[in-house]
């Protein structure tokens, strides 16, 4: 199960994710939220993965699709709070460091814009 809450911080939309990103309907909501906000003019996104306990390859696919949606519209999507377990999956899929910018803290991610 995945819980998503979002908040605006200095013009950046932060999605706080909690639980598992497994590629199911709840996980796909990440991309939907990003697309909806891009349509409203939002260009800066951060995914807070601090409370994500598990990510599989389908979940990584959701993150790729979200990144691609942002990139197509000249928006940015960055990550922070990536656990060792999630980092292993993202590295295995070739997503970090080549695709995603990953930061240790929210403040570092915010200041990167």
Per-residue pLDDT, 97:
82
* CATH code for the domain in which residue 11 is found: 3.30.750.24
Percent of the chain surpassing pLDDT 90: 88
pLDDT-based confidence at 91, cuts 50/70/90?
A: very high
Task: For residue 100, give its domain range.
Answer: 2-111
Closest CA to 45 of 34, 32, 30: 34
Per-residue pLDDT, 23:
85
Edge-to-edge strands of the sheet including 2-9? 2-9, 12-21, 44-55, 76-80, 101-103
How many domains does the chain divide into? 1
pTM for the model stands at 0.93
SS3 31: helix
Give the model confidence (pLDDT) of 41-90 as tens digits.
999 999 999 999 999 989 999 999 999 999 999 999 999 999 999 999 99
């Amino acid at each position: 199960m995945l819980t998503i809450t979002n908040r605006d911080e200095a013009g950046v939309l932060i999605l706080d994710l909690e639980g598992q990103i497994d590629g199911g309907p709840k996980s796909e909501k990440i991309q939907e939220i990003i697309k909806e906000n891009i349509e409203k003019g939002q260009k800066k996104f951060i995914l807070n993965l601090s409370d994500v306990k598990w990510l599989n390859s389908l979940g990584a696919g959701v993150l790729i699709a979200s990144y691609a949606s942002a990139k197509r519209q000249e928006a940015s999507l960055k990550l922070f709070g990536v656990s060792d377990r999630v980092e292993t999956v993202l590295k295995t899929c070739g997503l970090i460091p080549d695709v995603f910018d990953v930061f240790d803290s929210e403040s570092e991610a915010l200041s990167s814009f």
